Amino acid sequence: NSQIGLARAIVKDAKTRKILKGVQEDLFTLGGDLASELVSANVPRISKSHVDNLEKTIDSIHGGLKPLRRFILPTGGAAGAQLQVTRAVCRRAERRVAALAKIEAINPEAIPYVNRLSSLLFDLARLANQRDKVKEEEWTHE
């Protein structure tokens, strides 16, 4: 969540900052969700609608991006690079949530939410680089 806050501070685009603020709010919900027993009542939960909202946002951004033919290096301008760092932290969190799901019952929407969030962050990084006119660097496996 703090990495997303840093990204919000760096990103210039108001729409992207608004998306990131919504994600931060969702992450507080997710944190409480994961910290509470699944049977606990009156605990805000991540729901399919949260996942669907991420999907819709991804779709709206993805259409404006150039299709990838190769892997790209996680770099770019300040905003794009920070969003790539945030994505890497999100992927690590996804692995931890998946590990938690193996040892206790968790909300079944938690893993899809974090998975889709990493995809959103990737697309937002690409969008930030596009807006900042920073060329994507393709990985060359020499």
3-state SS, residue 30:
helix
Classify 55 as helix, strand or coil: helix
Give the pLDDT confidence of 21-78 residue by residue, as tens digits. Answer: 999 999 999 999 999 988 888 899 999 999 999 999 999 999 999 999 899 999 999 9
* pLDDT tens-digit series, residues 118-134: 999 999 999 999 999 99
> Does the predicted model carry a pTM greater than 0.85?
yes
Instruction: Fold for 2-131, please state it.
Output: Hypothetical Protein Ta1238; Chain: A; (1.20.1200)
Spell out the alpha helix ranges (H) of the chain.
2-10, 14-35, 48-62, 78-103, 110-131
Domain range list for the chain? 2-131
